[in-house]
Amino acid sequence: MITTLKISCKKATGLIDKRQLVSLTVSETIQLRIHTTICSICRRYEKQSAWIEQAVKHLQEQKPKDLKLSETARNTILEKIIEKK
């Protein structure tokens, strides 16, 4: 029983990432909680991951202001596209 609760850092970080997308099972939640209680590196990863997720959500909520390419940038991109053909 104890060995089934013990997980590697690779599995723990996978569960941290998975939790951002879907709910974890009870077993996964317990495994992750036990692991992060013991492992300071995975705790740090968990905090950083949560911070990044919040930052991305915040950026997605902001509506971009007038985002237009300058005429010079636009022409440069078009020239590069034409060169590739």
For 11-22, write each residue's pLDDT tens digit. Answer: 999 999 999 999
The pLDDT assigned to 80 comes to 86
Residue 54 · residue 46 · CB < 8 Å: no
Sign of the alpha-carbon torsion through 41, 22, 58, 66: positive
- How many CB atoms within 10 Å of residue 43? 15
HSE at residue 3, side-chain half, CA atoms within 13 A, is 0
Average pLDDT over residues 74-78: 90
Q: Could you give the CA distance from residue 12 to residue 34 in angstroms, rounded to a whole number?
A: 10
Render pLDDT for 11-63 as a digit per residue (tens, 0 to 9).
999 999 999 999 999 999 999 999 999 999 999 999 999 999 999 888 877 76
Confidence of residue 81 (pLDDT cuts 50, 70, 90): confident
Domain boundaries, the chain: 2-63
| pTM for this entry | 0.66
